[in-house]
Amino acid sequence: MTRPSSLWWQEAIIYQVYPRSYLDTNGDGVGDLNGITDRLDYIAQLGVDIVWISPFFKSPMKDFGYDIADYCDVDPMFGTLDDFDRLIAKAHSVGVKIMIDQVMSHCSERHPWFVESRSSRDNPKADWFVWADPKPDGNPPNNWLSVFGGSAWQWDARRKQYYMHNFLTSQPDLNFHNPEVQQAMLDSLRFWLRRGVDGVRLDAVTFHFHDKALRDNPVATVRDTSTVTDANPYGMQAHVYDKCRPENVPFLRRVREVLDEFNAVSIGEVGADDALAFMAEYTAGGDKLHMAYSFNLLTEDSSARHIRTQVEDFKRRVKDGWASWSVGNHDVPRVATRWGKGKDPRAFGKVALAMQLSLKGTPTLYQGDELAFTEADVPYELIQDPYGITFWPEFKGRDGCRTPIAWTDGPNGGFTTGTPWLPVAPEHIAAAASVQETDVDSPLNFARRMIAWRRTMPQLTRGDIEFLDAPEPVLAFRRTLAGERSVLCLFNLGGSDVTFTLPQARGAAKLPQPGLPGDVVDGVVTLPACGGWLGYEA
């Protein structure tokens, strides 16, 4: 059974690069495009297919590139357009595709569009952003909240109106009800696709449209803690009017038409009270997003029950769509700490990776997870993330997962010859990539073997998934594919040894997978702490 080439992305592995923290080649303490180019051989050797690069566009960097001031240029901090072209050429030469981050819902207050829009109520771009008059008492027009704290409305003295911002006040929301705004975004997308980009990750994809009537959000009947900390009042509202609006569906069809012109792929970040519903809506029918991911596996809950529930719910509710399962990214604490509390980070990093690579869907890995890096402890005086500064100390922000990659055990982990923008964690330097290269049992070498082995197992890349009942903390499922023997996948996500009795009347033989500890005797599988077992069923 051969998968059509047009669906190659369903068998692919995505690797996220946060460019500020990957490798600095000019000594200014901030990673750059040339640093990514210099490490493309490392990435290719890892065995991934797509590199998703977080924003590198011109920006005042108040939200570290997610506040864009020019959608069609590179910020000098990261390099030049020529540097980007060289990156694309090198990536393609080593067999890796490049996916860029498109932040369409909002831009920087310094973008020329917003500078013009706020200058008056009757300029050509006056309606390019979401403006509203105050209530008679001067208050904002409704109760909408910002993800980053406080009201979603900021007073502007020039227009004597409020403008909407779902994130920082310096990130005004674009008005997608204006057809010119939609076209401008599609034009910027084409700019990068013409330069050879192979795909896009759509940031905040549920936030493009708002309710024109500006109706108040109702109180949440179930508080959402999957996308925000419980210290944040954002989760107290049901976000039915400020995002996830029905007008987003036809716009995503327009995005897909542009992508199809270039045979490019897309993945959407779905942050919503009911993320699975919108993952289903946005990926169904093959005419919108190719795939989507949510924060449903980026939570604190690492139980086997939680993981099983998310995957089974997706399978039940999303009939013809496709998921990308991510357990770590630049917005949440590193998985080796978030899910691996009290466990050996090397062992837990391996089992978490093996589990992620065995689920049905396209895995998205975050830089440093292949090295089993833990969350870094950044002291308050060095915190850069405005989100963390606002909610400190109950929520320390996102800096702990964004610290620079340690490539060597030398000064600053070989990341920079200058002063790094965030400190390189000493524990990361001790586990640097160069140190792990020479250790056959390191998380890095395990990741390479596991990724290579996955390619030989069509059941894991194309097969269906069926979960088996198992006691916590064991996650058990089988992957089946017509014409192939079914594969049983068992993962112990806990810190103590456990056993699992194989299903009755089903023999099993352990597969020569790349080194997870676990064995079977007389139908009983023994799984050491953070162990795993994959075997053929009879």
Distance CA 67, CA 106 (A): 7
Average pLDDT for 4-29:
93
Expressed in angstroms, the distance from the first to the final Cα of the chain is: 21
pLDDT score for 382: 95
From residue 121, alpha-carbon distances to 108, 159, 161, 179, 291 in Å are 19, 6, 9, 18, 39
**How many Å separate Cα 210 from the centre of its chain?**
23
* Mean model confidence pLDDT for the chain: 95
More confident position, 192 or 3: 192
Element containing residue 96 per DSSP (H, E)? none
Task: Indicate which residues carry an active-site annotation.
Answer: 203, 261
Average pLDDT for 479-499:
96
Distance CA 385, CA 64 (A): 8
CB 46 within 8 Å of CB 448: yes
pLDDT score for 134: 98
Q: If 0-12 CB within 10 Å is exposed, 13-18 middle and 19+ buried, where does residue 512 land?
A: exposed
From residue 478, alpha-carbon distances to 320, 434, 469, 489, 503 in Å are 20, 36, 11, 6, 11
Bridge partner residues of 500 (DSSP)? 525
pLDDT at 334 over 90: yes
pLDDT score for 352: 98
Average pLDDT for 288-311:
95
User: pLDDT confidence of 452, banded at 50, 70, 90?
Assistant: very high
Q: Residue 425 has what DSSP assignment?
A: P
pLDDT score for 512: 85
User: pLDDT confidence of 2, banded at 50, 70, 90?
Assistant: very low
Indicate the Cα dihedral angle 140, 145, 149, 153, nearest 10°.
-30
Average pLDDT for 374-393:
93
Q: Which domains does the chain have, with CATH numbers?
A: 11-105+179-207+244-453 (3.20.20.80), 463-537 (2.60.40.1180)
Residue ranges of alpha helices (H) inside 263-344 are 275-283, 304-317, 335-338
User: pLDDT confidence of 453, banded at 50, 70, 90?
Assistant: very high
pLDDT at 430 over 90: yes
Average pLDDT for 65-89:
98
pLDDT score for 363: 97
Distance CA 499, CA 506 (A): 17
Helix-then-strand count for the chain, H and E: 15, 21
Dihedral (CA of 484, 485, 486, 492) sign: negative
Q: Residue 30 has what DSSP assignment?
A: S
pLDDT at 3 over 50: no
Is the bond into 473 cis (omega within 30 degrees of 0)? yes
Q: If 0-12 CB within 10 Å is exposed, 13-18 middle and 19+ buried, where does residue 489 land?
A: buried
pLDDT at 177 over 50: yes
CB 417 within 8 Å of CB 27: yes
Distance CA 267, CA 273 (A): 19
User: pLDDT confidence of 411, banded at 50, 70, 90?
Assistant: very high
